[in-house]
Amino acid sequence: MSSINRRTLLLSTSACAAMPAWVSAQKAPALVTITKGLDHPWGLAFLPDGSALVTERSGRLRRVIINDKRLLPPITGTPESANNGEGGLLGLAIDPEFRANRFVFMAFTETRGGGTVTSVFRARLNEAHTALENGRIIFRQNVVGQENSHYGARIVFDRSNHLFVTTGDRQSWQDKGLKGEVQKPETYIGKIIRITREGTAAPGNPKLPGWAPEVWSTGHRNVQGAALHPETGQLWISDHGPRGGDEINMPEAGKNYGWPVISYGVEYSGGKVGEGTSKAGMEQPVYYWQETVAPSGMTFYSATKYPDWKGSLFVGSLRGLHLARLTFANGKVASQEKLFNGFSRFRDVVQGPDGRLYVLTDEPNPGGGLYVIGAAGDAA
């Protein structure tokens, strides 16, 4: 099937891209260190004062003073997370009205009923930025999983100040105990959830027969990246395939994105997944990779610090060890550029208030760190 005849453009190799105008042949794009020594950093978000919060998978929340590159001691009051496998303290979001309510939201893996679930914790950050206060769990998955992987756990605020929360399939297509849960609309397994700050179903959710009121879309595998388009406000996500078939999607209310019935990937053994690559009533991806990149955090670049990159979608790659830059033409993905290829596992990418792009790298090489994209030889 030609990618020109549908919304997806398949690129398994890096596209050749011209050097951005903001650098020269002597000063190529480079990662400038803000801080190292982070323990499996996972989520990154900026506070109104320009400092950043970072979740560490081990359960700690850290504040980083960007201007002088200071990593401060852990903030107290975080939820007790199940730090095993892919689990721990994961997604992070700052309330759009933080100056008024000081709310911080975190997705984490909670021990429950003999297994674990993806849960969302809300707390108030004190004025000294040293402690979370009045914390409580506002959402948790309604099915317990035994596998310590595929938690999803990204959080994004929409333009109505409601939260999109991603959940993974908990390896349910292989787990006999959970088999079929992704395609059950009453569960929170393999779903995009949309809730209010209080954890209730958000106004405007699908309200379809048999669907849990908090469910926005279904048929997802392990969504570890989520971002709003800066012009349309549409949610975009990155979803892990099995072996190959990693996807970019635009989840719409009440729609089914196919996992594990359809996929462009294959089983780890090499066998076919489900029924093939398409089925009536199931959505096709906006974009997919034939290679395994293991996509993670993502953001659209809308500032002018790097003018040649404005409008691009940046996606961290865990398996591919690069930061992917996707460009668009006529509403479709037109090209892919692999930045900093081979440097590390890129866990998250966020546009800072200064218009620069900040990235988190995961262990083991070169270790967990926060970097800003600059030009070679620049100071942050």
Cβ burial of 267 (10 Å; 0-12, 13-18, 19+) is: middle
Answer whether residue 19 shows pLDDT above 70: no
21 or 280: which leads in pLDDT: 280
Closest by Cα among 262, 298, 293, 254 to 278: 262
Per-residue pLDDT of 301-339, as tens digits, reads 999 999 999 999 999 999 999 999 999 998 899 999 999
| Ramachandran area for residue 85 (φ above 0: left; ψ -120 to 50: alpha; else beta) | left
Interval 199-205 mean pLDDT:
98
Instruction: pLDDT band for 2, please (50, 70, 90 cuts).
Output: very low
| Least trusted range by pLDDT, from 27-41, 99-113, 202-216, 225-239 | 27-41
129 is catalytic: no
Interval 19-39 mean pLDDT:
81
269 or 236: which leads in pLDDT: 236
Buried b (16+ CB within 10 A) or exposed e, 133-171: eebeebbbbebbbebbbbbbbbbbbbeeebbbbbbbbbb
83, amino acid identity? N
In percent, the amount of the chain with pLDDT more than 90 equals 84
pLDDT given for residue 12 in this prediction: 34
Tokens 């009440």 belong to 254
pLDDT given for residue 18 in this prediction: 57
DSSP-based three-state secondary structure for 169: coil
Answer whether residue 251 shows pLDDT above 70: yes
| Ramachandran area for residue 113 (φ above 0: left; ψ -120 to 50: alpha; else beta) | left
Buried b (16+ CB within 10 A) or exposed e, 176-200: eebeebbbbbebbbbbbbbbbbebe
Instruction: pLDDT band for 235, please (50, 70, 90 cuts).
Output: very high
C-beta separation of 85 from 76 below 8 A: no
Answer whether residue 258 shows pLDDT above 70: yes
pLDDT given for residue 1 in this prediction: 35
Q: How far apart are CA 59 and CA 53, in angstroms?
A: 13
| Least trusted range by pLDDT, from 15-29, 111-125, 263-277 | 15-29
Q: How many residues does the chain have?
A: 380
Per-residue pLDDT of 43-92, as tens digits, reads 999 999 999 999 999 999 999 999 999 999 999 999 999 999 999 999 99
Mean pLDDT of the chain: 92
Question: What global pTM score does this model have?
Answer: 0.93
- Catalytic annotation, pick one of 40, 150, 220, 322: 150
Q: How far apart are CA 354 and CA 380, in angstroms?
A: 11
Backbone phi and psi for residue 295, each to the nearest 5 degrees, phi listed first: -70, 145
Answer whether residue 231 shows pLDDT above 90: yes
Per-residue pLDDT of 141-177, as tens digits, reads 999 999 999 999 999 999 999 999 999 999 877 666 6
Tokens 């997604």 belong to 91
C-beta separation of 248 from 224 below 8 A: no
Per-residue pLDDT of 57-66, as tens digits, reads 999 999 999 9
* Peptide bond connecting 307 to the previous residue in cis, omega within 30 degrees of 0: no
Answer whether residue 7 shows pLDDT above 50: no
Answer whether residue 365 shows pLDDT above 90: no
Closest by Cα among 110, 268, 115, 138 to 195: 138
Per-residue pLDDT of 268-297, as tens digits, reads 888 888 999 999 999 999 999 999 999 999
